[in-house]
Amino acid sequence: MDPGVTVLDNACADSPSAPPSVRSHRRPALWCDRSTNSERRFESLPDELLSIICDSLPSVDLRNLAVVSKRVYSHATAPLWRKVCLTDTRRRHDTGTDGEEPDVDEHDDTPIIHKLYVLAKNPHIASKVQVLDHRCHLPTPSVCHDLPALYFASPWISIDSRIKALLQLALWNLVNVHTVRIVYGHWRITQNLLGYLFHPLRPRNVELKKLWLESTSIEDTMHGYAANGKYYQQIPTGLESIRFRRLRFESPDDPTTIEPKNWEIVLARGGHRIHLRDGAGGTYETSVWFGNEYRLGTARVDAEAKAKEYDAAIWKLIPEIDQFVRKQNIIEFPKGPRLGKVPFLRLLKASAMTLTKLNLDWIIVRKNDDYPYDVLGHRAMDMLSKLRFPNLLAFQLRNCAVHITRLPPDIYLLDDKEGPRGVSFMDFLEAHPKIRCLAWPLDQFYSHIKSSQATTTRQRKLVAHFGNVLVDVRLDSHYHRGCETFTDGSTLLEDQYERIRRRRFISEFAAYLTKVESIKLEGGIARDEKRELLRALHQSPLQKIVLIGASFPVGNTWGNRGEDLKDVEMVEEETGLNVQLEEEDNRAILSTYLNDNTVPADFTFTPQYGWPPSPPFLHTIAAHHASTVKELKLCGYAGAPILSDPTPITRPLLYNLRHFHKLETLIISMWLSTVHEGERQDKEIIASWLDTRSPSSTALIFVTPPSTPTPLPLVAPTTIPGNLSPAARPQEFNRWAVALKTRFSPSALAYRVAADIAPFLSSKAKERRGGVKVRASFCLGRNDQYSNGRIGDIFDLDVRVGRGGQVLEFVGPREEGEPGRWWGKLEGRGWF
């Protein structure tokens, strides 16, 4: 290297502005240069600069960099081990018998054991860990299909005592962990992780700040502890943020809530082979036992024997780790009695003084069949309403929109108790004036019965306060009729009560909110109620609007009962959603969608329910919020715009998107027609997407072009050719291969999405640096012999649209469980 060229010069040598002396001495990155001089120059950098460089490098480069020297190793280790994920794997065991299928261990803990061994043996590496994750390698359960049937406290996975010992040794070295996330975790590991993390004797430099628990069981956790001759009845956790997602209400006092029901399934290592949904339009096979076998004990002997057999095979291959564990002096800490009746409430109570964010998402109520109503649900919510968190900023009870997660009746956020089972959260709200983010079922803020004068006074004080402090509001309502109607004309008494409760929120609460920046509406909310709620928020500087339903929230592009979609796809099929679609008033929309959408300066909100002839929904949204909105999410597949084949009503329905000049992100459901020659090709399209991004895929699409005719033979001018039109060889032209390549490949879809959506977007928004991020969300699936009917899963395609509709970049299509998207969503969750 030229002595006059510095390390930073070399790093920037590819810049066109670099002087010739630098460009002429371009060399590979210094950490790849094995010369002694280069290593010295790199190591001479200050610690701060080395840390910045290491933080910006991918894992592959960090592994190479770590072997340069001891000093560089120290800097490279930190980002490599900052986040550790404990995940099992699937392993085949050869039976040794010819022609016999190999055994499959669905939950081989070898990868977990190796990571725990490193953390237990090397305190220096363990001290670098800040985020600890644990998850099962299987796809997370399908919310509406598999989740209700899964029993999470499987006693036959991760049962070996040596794993428990490694966990204790590793956690005693993890002194700087501040975040733990357990998603679909093994019950035994979850149980020990939480037990050791909160143990009073565990060494720590920082307290655990964030805890995420999803699709797992926390039964038999949060005990008292006996240590050093002392008994610790309640151990403050120090947690600031807790997210419980897809957990069950469990109580050891009620065996029917902690034991599997006969029809529930328990994950196991061996047993029955069944198919569960994989989140990518299909299924995967795994092993389980059924709840009735668990309860009767018929499966326990076989399940435990198979687990021990597999564990013996695992430890036989890792004798070094086995010997390491056996040499350790593992201290068994006796547990005291359980603290309280409901496990997750025990954890909340132990975190009360430090908690700032509480998120209860898809909490599942496992009812006791011996009672006519949900005893445990009422009791748990009553206990929650009595807890106090002095520093609480976010309180979310989300996704109570399906049967298994719906709140028990007579539980209200802003009203009195009704009857012996009623629960009121008014005292809770009054005790937590710092709340800035609030999520609650829309139909359970208020009762349908008129409040007393004293209660009304308290309600108005709460509304006046929270109207000036809430910045994020999330509301949902029960999905119970399929497609959302234009207006709720229910005649059933209970449905009418729900309508009264929803509309009370709009007129008595939403109309007084003035600071809201983000609003989310999900579930079975009639369109006119969504419209009125957004009109009620006219004083709020909304930057994010999320509308999610079974049908496309801003209009039906498929016509009455989906007839227009049938005309496009030429397939005669009806779904339960299609037949519920109501036809838009085309004449009214076509005559008003171009109207001026300026709101009068003296506008005063007055609820106006019903859906008379009027401008499209987006016209109303734009009138009140286009000047501030940066993110718009419109999700619902029934009636959604048809990609590349929009029906005539699509343009006026979406036209008013052009008024959102500050729009940065648009998430929109679109219908991807997969019909080819009268048959749906969802399976082949999904497979091609997966093959396209799989590094191990060898799938290629070959398109055979029409063959060139054989040239005529040369003859004398006076000779008449004997064969004027020789027969061409038979054509081998695969029309489906051409369609797959030109219509459904990721790049083709990206340009199709841009062509459909770009004309509606604001020119100012598209000309901004980075353009507008458009996420087109498709619902694809396939008929499967192991499922009831068609499997539908979500695939998202992210396209950046710039000036003139240009495609700047695209990513996808990706299903929700795709690793990059899954981890990105996990890392990007707000209010956690």
pLDDT tens digit sequence for 601-612:
889 999 999 999
Burial label for 595, CB within 10 Å (0-12, 13-18, 19+), is: exposed
Confirm if 668 and 634 have CB atoms less than 8 A apart.
yes
Same-domain status, 67 and 116: no
Same-domain status, 65 and 89: no
Supply the pLDDT for residue 30: 39
- With tokens 């209700």, the residue in question is 148
Assigned domain for 116 exists: yes
What is the residue range of 27's domain?
A: 7-80
- Mean per-residue pLDDT for 351-371? 81
Q: What is the DSSP-derived secondary structure letter of residue 578? A: G
Least confident of 22-26, 182-186, 376-380, 698-702: 22-26
pLDDT tens digit sequence for 131-166:
999 999 999 998 878 888 888 888 889 999 999 999
Assigned domain for 76 exists: yes
Same-domain status, 258 and 314: yes
Least confident of 250-254, 262-266, 361-365, 543-547: 250-254
Supply the pLDDT for residue 606: 94
Q: Does pLDDT of 721 surpass 60? A: no
Nearest to 346 by CA among 223, 168, 442: 223
Highest mean pLDDT among 96-100, 431-435, 561-565, 572-576: 431-435
Question: Which pLDDT band, with edges at 50, 70 and 90, does 817 fall under?
Answer: confident
Work out the mean pLDDT of the chain and round it to a whole number: 83
Question: Which pLDDT band, with edges at 50, 70 and 90, does 66 fall under?
Answer: confident
Mind spelling out the 3-state secondary structure of 756-796?
A: HHHHHCCHHHHHCCCCEEEEEEEEEEEECCCCCCEEEEEEE
Give, in degrees to the nearest 5, the angle at Cα 491 between 489 and 495: 85
Confirm if 228 and 354 have CB atoms less than 8 A apart.
no
Q: Does pLDDT of 41 surpass 80? A: no
Alpha-carbon distance 397 to 359, whole Å?
6
Q: Does pLDDT of 627 surpass 50? A: yes
Supply the pLDDT for residue 174: 95
Same-domain status, 123 and 250: yes
Q: Does pLDDT of 19 surpass 60? A: no
Question: Which pLDDT band, with edges at 50, 70 and 90, does 720 fall under?
Answer: low
Q: What is the DSSP-derived secondary structure letter of residue 106? A: E
132, 143, 262, 277, 286 from 146: Cα distances, Å: 27, 6, 15, 7, 13
Alpha-carbon distance 565 to 671, whole Å?
9
Three-state DSSP at 666 gives: strand
Alpha-carbon distance 484 to 527, whole Å?
7
- Mean per-residue pLDDT for 784-808? 79
Radius of gyration of the chain (CA): 31
Mind spelling out the 3-state secondary structure of 586-649?
A: HHHHHHHCCCCCCCCCCCCCCCCCCCCCCCCHHHHHHHHHCCCCCEEEEECCECCCECCCCCCC
Supply the pLDDT for residue 6: 35
Same-domain status, 36 and 140: no
214, 728, 744 from 696: Cα distances, Å: 31, 39, 21
Least confident of 279-288, 450-459, 696-705: 696-705
Same-domain status, 45 and 121: no
Please count the other Cβ atoms lying within 10 Å of the Cβ belonging to residue 165. 19
Please count the other Cβ atoms lying within 10 Å of the Cβ belonging to residue 720. 7
Same-domain status, 311 and 204: yes
- Mean per-residue pLDDT for 3-26? 38
Helix (H) or strand (E) holding 588: helix 586-592
Same-domain status, 32 and 115: no
Same-domain status, 107 and 73: no
Assigned domain for 539 exists: no
Left, alpha or beta for 522 (phi > 0: left; psi -120 to 50: alpha)?
beta
Same-domain status, 147 and 201: yes
Q: Domain tally for the chain?
A: 3
Higher pLDDT, 567 or 641: 641
Least confident of 24-33, 177-186, 282-291: 24-33
Confirm if 575 and 566 have CB atoms less than 8 A apart.
no
- Out of 308, 338, 368, pick the residue that ends a domain: 338
Supply the pLDDT for residue 748: 94
- With tokens 């299928």, the residue in question is 101
Confirm if 359 and 394 have CB atoms less than 8 A apart.
yes
Question: Which pLDDT band, with edges at 50, 70 and 90, does 99 fall under?
Answer: low
Supply the pLDDT for residue 766: 96
Q: Does pLDDT of 32 surpass 50? A: no
pLDDT tens digit sequence for 753-787:
999 999 999 999 999 999 999 999 999 876 554 44
Assigned domain for 376 exists: no
3-class SS shares of the chain: helix, strand, coil, % to 5: 35, 20, 45
Assigned domain for 575 exists: no
DSSP state letters, 452-475: PHHHHHHHHHHHHHHTTT--EEEE
Q: Does pLDDT of 26 surpass 60? A: no
Q: Does pLDDT of 615 surpass 80? A: yes
Question: Which pLDDT band, with edges at 50, 70 and 90, does 407 fall under?
Answer: confident
- Amino acid found at 664: E
Per DSSP bridges, beta strands 223-227 and 335-338 are antiparallel
Supply the pLDDT for residue 232: 59
Nearest to 805 by CA among 747, 753, 743, 731: 753
Per DSSP bridges, beta strands 679-680 and 675-676 are antiparallel
Confirm if 549 and 522 have CB atoms less than 8 A apart.
yes
- Residue 599 phi, psi dihedral angles, 5° rounding: -90, 130
Nearest to 667 by CA among 562, 814, 545: 545
- Counting residues of the chain whose pLDDT is more than 70, the rounded percentage is 81
Assigned domain for 743 exists: yes
- Out of 315, 338, 361, pick the residue that ends a domain: 338
- Out of 80, 114, 132, pick the residue that ends a domain: 80
Helix (H) or strand (E) holding 244: strand 241-245
Left, alpha or beta for 570 (phi > 0: left; psi -120 to 50: alpha)?
left
pLDDT tens digit sequence for 653-679:
999 999 999 999 999 999 999 988 888
- Counting residues of the chain whose pLDDT is more than 90, the rounded percentage is 51
- Amino acid found at 110: T
Nearest to 289 by CA among 95, 150, 104: 150
Three-state DSSP at 432 gives: coil
- Which pair of structure tokens corresponds to residue 28? 């590979």
Same-domain status, 160 and 229: yes
Q: What is the DSSP-derived secondary structure letter of residue 642? A: B
Alpha-carbon distance 650 to 629, whole Å?
22
Supply the pLDDT for residue 713: 54
179, 232, 273, 816 from 186: Cα distances, Å: 18, 27, 19, 21
Nearest to 365 by CA among 403, 418, 411, 399: 403
Contacts of residue 626, defined as CB under 8 A and 6 or more positions apart, other chains included, come to 597, 656, 659, 660, 661
Assigned domain for 251 exists: yes
Same-domain status, 206 and 317: yes
Question: Which pLDDT band, with edges at 50, 70 and 90, does 703 fall under?
Answer: very low
Nearest to 527 by CA among 448, 624, 620, 447: 620
Least confident of 249-263, 432-446, 681-695, 748-762: 249-263
Alpha-carbon distance 642 to 557, whole Å?
8
Q: What is the DSSP-derived secondary structure letter of residue 364? A: B
- Residue 632 phi, psi dihedral angles, 5° rounding: -130, 125
Assigned domain for 34 exists: yes
